[in-house]
């Protein structure tokens, strides 16, 4: 059996083919979307906070959104997102959160945002949550529930639609 010579810089462990394939797929999607973005109309300028614990997804979302002209900050979990928002509740027009995160999940983050009367919009961008969680998000009046994986173009379209609700 042939061993893989490519190793992660941080962990010194071999990188699996699955991780390498996923990263290549994300890069390809990003490149394809960048080409198509050139023909799209300009986006509504937004300040976006991403709450996502998966570092690869977080980085890809950051790259996609910044390439579309959005101002983006990211948090590794719901608790970190709360800290950023507590510093200035009006610093972000939109929060995009994952559902499954350590420390404070997406549902906890949305509950907190509603409790403190967060004035911006909220999109939950996650693997399909169970029906009870979907109902809870609906009861909290989120602006959109999007399921992963999603094409970049559809994500940007959803963000623009939510932004127009202002």
Under-50 pLDDT residues of the chain? 1-11, 13, 34-42
- The residue segments making up the domain with residue 101 are 44-164
DSSP 95: E
- Is residue 84 a part of any domain in this protein? yes
In this predicted structure, what is the pLDDT of residue 6? Answer: 44
In this predicted structure, what is the pLDDT of residue 149? Answer: 86
Do β-strands 94-97 and 47-51 pair in parallel, antiparallel, or remain unpaired? parallel
Split into its structural domains, the chain has a count of: 1
- Is residue 6 a part of any domain in this protein? no
At 152, give phi and psi (nearest 5°).
Answer: -55, -40
- Is residue 117 a part of any domain in this protein? yes
The CATH code of the domain that includes 99 is: 3.40.50.2300
At 104, give phi and psi (nearest 5°).
Answer: -150, 115
pTM as predicted: 0.75
DSSP sequence for 9-31: TTT-SBPPHHHHHHHHHHHHHHH
- Is residue 146 a part of any domain in this protein? yes
Paired tokens of 115: 């409790």
């Amino acid at each position: 059996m042939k061993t893989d010579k490519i190793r992660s810089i941080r962990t010194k462990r071999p990188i699996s083919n699955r991780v390498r394939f996923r990263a290549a797929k994300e890069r390809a999607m990003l490149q394809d979307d960048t080409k198509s973005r050139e023909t799209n109309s300009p986006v509504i300028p937004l300040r976006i906070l991403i709450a996502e614990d998966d570092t690869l997804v977080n980085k890809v979302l950051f790259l996609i959104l910044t390439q579309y002209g959005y101002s983006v900050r990211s948090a590794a979990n719901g608790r970190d997102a709360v800290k950023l928002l507590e510093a200035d509740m009006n610093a972000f027009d939109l929060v995009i959160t994952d559902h499954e995160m350590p420390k404070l999940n997406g549902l906890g983050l949305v509950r907190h945002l509603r409790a403190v009367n967060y004035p911006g919009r909220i999109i939950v961008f996650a693997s399909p949550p169970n029906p009870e969680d979907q109902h809870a998000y609906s009861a909290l009046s989120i602006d959109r529930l999007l399921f992963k994986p999603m094409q970049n173009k559809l994500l940007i379209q959803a963000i623009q639609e939510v932004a127009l609700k202002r």
